[in-house]
Amino acid sequence: MAFPSESQRAVPRVAYFPDSFHEINGVAHTSRHFEAYARRHGLPFLCARAGGRPTAVIEEGALTTLELRRGIFSVPLDKDLHLDPVFFRHLRVMDQTVRAFRPDIVHITGPSDVGLMAAAVAILNRIPMAASWHTNVHEYAAKRSQWLLSSLPKGLARAGAAGIEEFFLRLTSLLYSWAEVNFAPNEGLCRLLERTTGRPCHLMQRGVDTELFSPEKRTEASTGDFVLGFVGRLSVEKNVALLAQIQQELEARGLRNFRFRIVGQGQEEAWLRERLPRAEFTGVLRGEALARAYAGMDLFVFPSHTDTFGNVVLEALASGVPAVVTRDGGPCSIVRDGETGCVAEDGEFSGAIAGVVGNPERHARMRQAARAYALTASWDAVFDKVYEAYRGVLRG
């Protein structure tokens, strides 16, 4: 049954279904800030997500939350990410909650158990749908298939990886083609989505808490070492093996007054510990502990080619820490080459780092520029634009 049109209302009623919410990743980070934005502004907002608590609907003013528990058949995708193949058992309660809330638009964040079920509810009830792209699933699939293709000749392995990437891109784009409007964190992905789905795409970038992440959180005494930092999942798709190569290349240049600070966990941690004996591995950090870890870094090194935006890069800049990033994906749209950090190919990382380590005046200028840039990025500005796009869909 179609819901009565409320498209003329100034503030749309939004039902938001994130892939993850409580975990430590970019989708969860953005989703928590989206809910906080709705709460802060008193917007009618339903946030339905998977969680560890028993299924419950909670209403707090204009905000409604629905937690749905994943079951014993859930498949681990990473340290804190799971997929429940029988999540559709929650379809009835999700449908009832959505009908009671009466949204103008449903917003999903990807092809997860939550997202697929939310898309089904939107289609069954003829509610307009928006979808935001947060993860390059097709690139992750190609990266994680390397162990399977490693026994093949190099040419066949490359062709196989390209085929896997193209297959998952087409499959994922099919879901996004069901939406009236899509969102992506950088211009390149917006163009890709428009090409593969035929739907309009708007930028949905990221904001940063510049009070939490600040140079003022730098409290530890200097040891004389230049601290190279990394924050994120220690996994193959983050290209963390490059960190070990960087250490070798810097030492070959005669540089030894540096050490790595690595924040996070993942499948590659043991491999990295073996090859980076002088590195500090903190595990996962949150809140003030994370802010202090950032502020104690001198240069942020982020070699990922698959990140669609790079929340951690923006948090580093807010902490007054310039960043070195790759030319692929979203982080290169944040870092201004030569001003707030360096944009480089994999083989150029050690040279870019050496150019900062050996030039204290340049490093100081980059620190100031990094902080100044981050001060212009607010979550309110990000989500104001998302709501404007919602209104465009509902007017149309």
Give yes or no: residues 329 and 307 share one domain: yes
Residue 376 predicted with pLDDT over 70: yes
Does 56 lie in the same domain as 26?
A: yes
What is the rounded CA–CA span in Å between residue 315 and residue 313?
Answer: 5
Question: Does 113 lie in the same domain as 235?
Answer: no
pLDDT in tens, 78-95: 666 777 888 899 999 999
Between the CA of residue 178 and those of 47, 196, 317, what are the distances in Å?
Answer: 20, 12, 36
Q: Which residues contact 51 (CB under 8 A, 6 or more apart)?
A: 21, 22, 67, 68, 69
Number of domains in the chain: 2
Answer yes or no: do 292 and 178 share one domain: no
Same structural domain for residues 297 and 390?
A: no
pLDDT of residue 167: 74
Average pLDDT, the chain: 89
Residues of the chain with pLDDT > 90, as a percent, come to 66
Residue 1 forms part of a structural domain: no
**Same-domain check for residues 183 and 72:** yes
Determine the residue type at 298. Answer: D
Q: Identify whether residues 198 and 242 lie together within a single domain.
A: no
Residue with tokens 């600040």: 214
Say which CATH number the domain at 296 has.
3.40.50.2000
pLDDT, mean of residues 154-173: 72
pLDDT at 5 over 50: no
pLDDT at position 139 is 58
Average pLDDT of the residues in 110-132: 94
Would you call 251 helix, strand, or coil by DSSP?
Answer: helix
Q: What are the residues whose beta carbons fall under 8 Å from the beta carbon of 74, sequence distance 6 or more?
A: 82, 83, 84, 85
Q: For the chain, where are the alpha helices, taking DSSP H only?
A: 26-41, 91-101, 113-124, 137-144, 146-149, 154-177, 187-197, 241-252, 269-275, 287-295, 311-318, 331-334, 349-357, 360-374, 379-395
User: Do 18 and 165 share a domain, yes or no?
Assistant: yes
Whether 63 has a pLDDT exceeding 50, the answer reads yes
Least confident range from 6-20, 153-167, 178-192, 328-342: namely: 153-167
3-state secondary structure (DSSP) of residue 223: coil
Do 233 and 365 lie in one domain? The reply is yes
Specify if 9 maps to a domain. no
Q: What domain range includes position 152?
A: 14-207+378-395
Domain-located, residue 180: yes
Domain match, 231 and 163 both: no
Q: Are residues 176 and 261 in the same domain?
A: no
What is residue 146's predicted lDDT score, i.e. its pLDDT?
65
184 lies in the same domain as 289: no
What is the b/e burial string over 258-294, where b = at least 16 CB atoms within 10 angstroms of the residue's CB? bbbbbbbbbebbeebeeebeebeeeeebeeeebbebb
